[in-house]
Amino acid sequence: MMKCFSLKGKPLTILACLLAAAVMFGAVNAPAVMASATQRQLPIYCVQRDQKMISISFDAAWGNEDTEQLIDILGKYDIKATFFVVGEWVDKYPESVKALHDAGHEVMNHSNTHAHMSQLSREEIIADVNACNDKIEAVTGVRPTLIRPPYGEYDDNVISAIRSIDMEPIQWDVDSLDWKDLSAADITKRVTGKVQAGSIVLFHNAAKHTPEALPGILDALLQEGYTFVPISQLILPGECGADYTLDHTGRQCPAS
């Protein structure tokens, strides 16, 4: 039976009794409350999907040697991808940005100058992101809704700033490592061995062996029953916490 205690002959208040009982019986879990309050903000790395549905993405920051070839390869398979482009890349190659859009691919934000966003203030992050959005929209007529922070770097300030302007930060759960100049065979083995339903795969538009590896990867995954959609069609719509949740790995899951 729960009892209240007295102090110097005076009864404790009801609140004090409840707090005392909570401590005695473990009703208050201070570490859990603290962990919830300090939980790190995460971008989306992948999505919980029952169907074998995945997205492939390409980062475009510097070179432009293979963009047209990638468009041709994806076109042969009728697959739409998501290209994250830097604003300065848009300045240099507006015709490639338009070609990507005209081919039905998503053109999304990869920052304006490929800066380390974690070193920027909230205001600087927002200004940088909007500058890139403006450039992409001027070429494609469509304003980006997704962004991949440069270098895959982020902190709570970066994620909070991005979401404050109604954009969603996107990472990946399958890294092709094509930027390391791996052979086409090694790239293919990495990607096909790690992909699962809801995966987001990272490639680069100017990596040495990506065009050579891509057809074999697409063939293998299509044979396994995967379908390919742009990232905006893979991720779950709505508001985090209300319509979906993110687990500790950045996997987006339905809230229910």
Known catalytic residues are 59, 204
Tokens of 9: 């002959």
CA angle 228, 231, 234 (to 5 degrees): 70
Burial readout 62-76 (b: 16 or more C-beta within 10 A, e: otherwise): eeeebbeebbebbee
Tokens of 2: 């729960």
Q: Which of 168, 199, 254 has its CA nearest to residue 55?
A: 199
